[in-house]
Amino acid sequence: MTPVINALRKLRLYTSASTCKQLAVLLSLVSLPILCPPAIAADVDFGQVLWFAERASAAYQPATEIQQRFPQVVRVATPAGTDVQYFLERDDASKRQIISVRGTDNLTNVKEDADYLTSRNPRLGIFVHSGFDADTLALYQDIKPFLEPGYDTVVTGHSLGAAISTLLMLYLHEDGYRLLPSMNFGQPKVTNGAGAEKYDFLPLTRVVDENDVVPDLPPVDLLDSVHGRYEHFGREVVLLPGPFYAYLQQHQAMRESLDSFWDNIGEESVTEHYMVHYLAHIRPKLQREQQINYNDRERYLKPAP
């Protein structure tokens, strides 16, 4: 009986609120009540989501186009030894600076992006993705002379750029910069559970498309079991077609995030990772938005052609 009861308790974490109530009734028959979490309501401002998304998308463009579109840009650069372009906006009136980081625009071989060896970062005191961290340090060294220490700082990015912008938040925090709420798109994981727990207070929201494969990278694997499995931190907004979206709080995003990459690669589409698809799922929500229960999200997905 005990294994069955434990399985039912665990199942509660992955079911809808209505199903959880049914499980609660079942467990009450053996005097083992469980507490079903209430539905989580979130006031997501999709105008703000679009504001970040447009910058994450623009980071892929040539410097001349970026500067034409965003007149407060003070630097566009690709640090030596990397393929990571970024641009820095500075608003002296509001004392705010915005860092937008380009991601990878070639996912023909997704497994090549799964180079997920970790290394301990003595400055941060956590284990981090080695490749992401190396690019972050190169970018930080390049941009730091152009940053205003007393300005509020915002970061964004997509894909690899999302991972770098997240790690950049950690370095900026440790160096005393004031971080405003930031948002990224299609971010792969950058640290393990201990690292995620240490920095889960940062004002980060991750926006993911339900069918995007990259937020599941690096996958659970024996290699990363040495230092613990990779985990996400930050709030999570899951984009669905039309007006629909789901929302997860920080602790739930670590427990109930998107399913294993390797288990679901047949159902997920690499093309859904590109910013053009993110923008296509964000813009309809400016007219009408409807939050749905995360565990009911499959009802709102369009059937495969």
**Statement to judge: residues 26 and 168 lie in one domain:** no
What pLDDT is stored for residue 21 in this prediction? Answer: 47
**Statement to judge: residues 220 and 103 lie in one domain:** yes
Cα atoms found within 13 Å of the Cα of residue 210, Cβ hemisphere only: 22
**Statement to judge: residues 25 and 68 lie in one domain:** no
> What CATH number has the domain bearing residue 65?
3.40.50.1820
Residues 6+ apart with CB under 8 A from 11: 23
- Please indicate, yes or no, if residue 197 is contained in any of the structural domains: yes
**Statement to judge: residues 157 and 260 lie in one domain:** yes
**Statement to judge: residues 166 and 251 lie in one domain:** yes
**Statement to judge: residues 123 and 22 lie in one domain:** no
Express as a percent the part of the chain with pLDDT over 70.
70
Cα separation, 256 vs 249, in Å, equals 10
**Statement to judge: residues 253 and 189 lie in one domain:** yes
**Statement to judge: residues 56 and 9 lie in one domain:** no
231 neighbors 189 (Cβ within 8 angstroms): yes
pLDDT in tens, 166-215: 999 999 999 999 999 999 999 988 888 889 899 999 999 999 998 887 88
| pLDDT > 80? residue 247 | yes
Q: pTM of the full predicted structure?
A: 0.80
- Please indicate, yes or no, if residue 305 is contained in any of the structural domains: no
Cα separation, 107 vs 191, in Å, equals 22
Q: Where is mean pLDDT largest: 7-21, 36-50, 147-161?
A: 147-161
Number of domain units in the chain: 2
| pLDDT > 80? residue 218 | no
- Please indicate, yes or no, if residue 264 is contained in any of the structural domains: yes
- Please indicate, yes or no, if residue 271 is contained in any of the structural domains: yes
Considering only the C-alpha atoms of the chain, give the largest distance between any 2 of them, rounded to a whole number of Å: 68
**Statement to judge: residues 92 and 131 lie in one domain:** yes
pLDDT in tens, 5-30: 444 333 433 334 444 445 445 545 54
What pLDDT is stored for residue 214 in this prediction? Answer: 80
Is residue 172 classed as helix, strand or coil in its secondary structure?
helix
Cα separation, 303 vs 80, in Å, equals 44
**Statement to judge: residues 32 and 50 lie in one domain:** no
| pLDDT > 80? residue 106 | no
**Statement to judge: residues 13 and 121 lie in one domain:** no
**Statement to judge: residues 27 and 139 lie in one domain:** no
Range of the domain at 28: 1-38
E-state strands within 199-287: 204-209, 230-231, 235-239, 244-248
